Amino acid sequence: IVSNLTRKYEITHGAGRHKPKVYQREVPLSKDFFRLIGYYLAEGSVSGNEGDHYVNFSFNENERVFIEDVKQLLKNVFGYTKAIETQTPKNHGTNVVVSSVDLAQVFKEFGKGSENKVIPHWAMLEDPEKQKQLLSTLFRGDGNFYSKQHKSGYKESFRISTTSEKMARQAREILLRVKIPAFLNRQKRASPRKPMYTVGVTGEYMSRFGEMVGIPVSNKMNGKKRASMFYIDDDF
């Protein structure tokens, strides 16, 4: 475990100019920053007509709790209080937008385009308590609690879905670090749609995952301990 206090990013202003301005931006590696990383991995993007200078977080208009959380985290971590909201009425969306070259270059490290989202190596080695914050907000954006009656019986699971295979595998590895085994599957989809990768938590580990994301789940189902396809101890 490596728990760093800050990370330095090299910021370039005026890329393409004869003498672009280059300086370092120090970012606190706090739990709040890891919460913001999770939101970006699920709902974030970087854009701009002439170079990257906008960071966007896209939500459904009814997800006010998430919207306000992102705005507060931007203030806590970066000191930004001028995040604006834009509406996309056609799909009932609300975007939280920050115009900042600094932030755009920081978040580019986590990938541009949903299929290219990635958790950097340094974040994979960080304190699991910080990583739990990342997982909780990643779940808010890309996750769901599956609960349905089938002919074979009642099925429940927590799922995180993404078109980024690398991020799906990384999320599964982080879950293992916090003692939550998870399955991983791949769903092929008709072109031009990308394959969908799903990380899922079932059985006895659902209560531990539910505690992390704020969704209480009983250790039992139908009066019996939940069955699990996995077993984990202190060594494996």
Length of the chain: 236
Task: Tell me how far CA of residue 233 lies from CA of 92, 99, 143, 179, in angstroms.
Answer: 45, 47, 26, 8
pLDDT bracket for residue 115 (50, 70, 90): very high
| Bridge partner residues of 98 (DSSP) | 55
In the predicted structure, residue 75 carries a pLDDT above the cut 90: yes
Res 15: pLDDT: 65
Express each pLDDT in 2-37 by its tens digit: 788 999 998 888 766 667 888 899 999 999 999 999
Token pair recorded at residue 152: 């074979």
Residue 207: pLDDT band with limits 50, 70, 90: very high
**In whole numbers, what is the pLDDT of the chain averaged over residues?**
91
Which candidate, 7, 97, 90, places its Cα nearest to that of 44?
97
pLDDT, tens digit, 9 for 90 and up, residues 76-114: 999 999 899 999 989 999 999 999 999 999 999 999 999
Residue 7, classified by CB atoms within 10 Å of its CB into exposed (0-12), middle (13-18) or buried (19+), is: middle
User: What is the pTM (predicted TM-score) of this model?
Assistant: 0.92
